């Protein structure tokens, strides 16, 4: 249960639906509802494929380059920390303008692949989190199945958010709630990033346990 709640929390922070509401709404504000729904379906399938590929074959990729769990954990912690700090200290205008313009002559498939599936739905830190979870899973029985189940849950939530983005953005109270909750979760991300780096340093005996 402890592993399940931890995996769910860290996946929610890195893959969860709260992250994609703003970017997806900004990116698709000038297209039709039908276009948005087609993008949502394709992007969700592509993102799910990316996550499952990393979950099943990511360990082979990491072991090929002899990357340790500690090195991957430190790298992931640094990326999560930097992205969180950028979110905290960036202005509202800069946040909203990141995905404010559509690519030139976009098709649903092109848009679904990039930037929706990656990096909006599946950011680099998310890939790192899956890698770390799978690499440590042999030491924790049942953890791999928990990772797969959590990926399916997060991808389903992300799909629902994108598919019903117009209905969600029309509810002012709901958007305000998501905004406040999202800001609160950013600080949790900073603490989680610090904990990841400290945990790796302790395991490497750089700092005392």
Instruction: State pLDDT tens for residues 155-195.
Output: 999 999 999 999 999 998 988 888 888 888 888 889 888 98
How big is the chain by its Cα radius of gyration, in Å? Answer: 18
Cis peptide before 152 (omega within 30 of 0): no
Q: Name the token pair of 42.
A: 């394709």
Q: Residue 1's CB: how many other CB atoms inside 10 A?
A: 6
Is 151:51 a contact under the CB 8 Å cutoff?
Answer: yes
Mean pLDDT check: name the lowest of 60-69, 125-134, 140-149: 60-69
pLDDT digits (tens, 9 = 90+) for 60-93: 877 777 888 888 889 888 988 888 888 888 755 5
Q: Would you state the pLDDT for residue 1?
A: 47
Q: Is pLDDT of 140 > 90?
A: no
Residue 198, exposed/middle/buried by CB under 10 A (0-12, 13-18, 19+)? middle
Is 18:182 a contact under the CB 8 Å cutoff?
Answer: yes
Q: What is the pTM of this model?
A: 0.86
């Amino acid at each position: 249960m402890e592993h399940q709640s931890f995996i769910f929390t860290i996946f929610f922070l890195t893959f969860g639906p709260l992250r994609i509401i703003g970017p997806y709404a900004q990116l698709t504000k000038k297209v039709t509802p039908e276009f948005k729904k087609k993008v949502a379906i394709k992007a969700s399938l592509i993102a799910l494929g990316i996550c499952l590929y990393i979950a099943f074959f990511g360990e082979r990729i990491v072991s090929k380059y002899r990357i340790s769990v500690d090195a991957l954990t430190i790298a992931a912690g640094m990326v999560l920390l930097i992205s969180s700090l950028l979110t905290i200290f960036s202005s509202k205008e800069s946040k909203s303008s990141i995905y404010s313009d559509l690519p030139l002559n976009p098709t649903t498939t092109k848009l679904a692949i990039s930037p929706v599936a990656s990096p909006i739905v599946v950011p680099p830190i998310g890939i790192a989190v899956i890698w770390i979870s799978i690499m440590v899973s042999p030491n924790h029985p049942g953890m791999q199945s928990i990772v797969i189940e959590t990926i399916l849950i997060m991808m389903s939530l992300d799909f629902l958010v994108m598919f019903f983005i117009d209905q969600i953005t029309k509810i002012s109270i709901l958007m305000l709630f998501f905004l406040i909750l999202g800001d609160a979760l950013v600080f949790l991300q900073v603490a989680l990033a610090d904990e990841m780096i400290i945990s790796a340093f302790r395991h490497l005996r750089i700092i005392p346990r």
